[in-house]
Structure formats: C-alpha cells, structure tokens
Amino acid sequence: MKKTGVIVFTHGSRLPAGNAIMVRLVEQLRARLGYELVEPCFMELGQPDIPAAIEKLVARGCNHIFGYAFFLVPGRHLQKDIPAIIQDTLKNHPGVTYEITEPMMDDPALLDVVEKRVARAL
C-alpha cells in the first residue's frame, strides 16, 4: 500500500527569517490538508535539508515521496541538483519512489497573486 510523504522544498536563504517563512507555510498547509506527513526542507542554506526531511518521512513509514517544488522556474537546481539529492538519499531505501512537481511559473493562480499586488500599486 502506498503511503505518501510530502516535502515542500525551496532553495534556502542565509537569512533565518526567510527560511522561517517556508516552515510557517508548511505548518499552515498541514493544517489545511489535515495531513501530518508534510515536511519543509531546503536545498541548501537552511535546515532541515532535503535528505533529513526524506529520512524523517521514511522513518514514519512513507514509501512514496511527493516533492513540491517551491520554485518559479525550471532551473538547474530543479532539473539536476534536487533529483540527484533525492536519488542519492533513496539509495538507502529500496522500494521508496518519488516524484517532483513542475515549478509554479505556469500556474494561473500565480498570475492572480501578481495581478492583485500590482493592481494595488496602480
């Protein structure tokens, strides 16, 4: 039976306040979904990192990792670096599968947010 754990990941920031935003977002997401197996993580410059979040979910019995990419565009990190980090982490967990979402750039809701904020300035 498939048990999905979710990682919501972003690049990470040298500023702790920047990383705290992601942690709060994931806490709110857990509450909205009513699903506890959702972890924030950072590619670099923040903790927990991606391997730590995956290890936490696998330890809780997850055998599928759904990675939500909190990225706007499909750059090198999203296309190469992050899949490599995940694959390397899962080498120790045969049978655990994963998928990563596309970046947010084409989501119509993103345009709504940008429009709303720009409209306030006009």
pLDDT at 63 over 90: yes
pLDDT at 106 over 90: no
The two most distant CA atoms of the chain are separated, in Å, by 54
Q: Binning pLDDT at 50, 70 and 90, where does residue 90 land? A: very high
Q: 11 — phi, psi (to 5°)?
A: -65, -50
CA pair distance 53, 2, nearest whole angstrom: 18
Q: pLDDT (tens digit, 9 = 90+) per residue, 13-59?
A: 999 999 999 999 999 999 999 999 999 999 999 999 999 999 999 99
**Residues that are catalytic:** 11
Task: Give residue 57's identity as a one-letter amino acid code.
Answer: L
Q: Specify the fold of 4-121.
A: Rossmann fold (3.40.50)
The model carries a pTM of 0.92
More reliable by pLDDT, 106 or 57 = 57
List, in sequence order, every residue forming a beta bridge with 39; answer none if it has no partner.
7
Residue pair 85/47 in contact (Cβ under 8 Å)? The answer is no
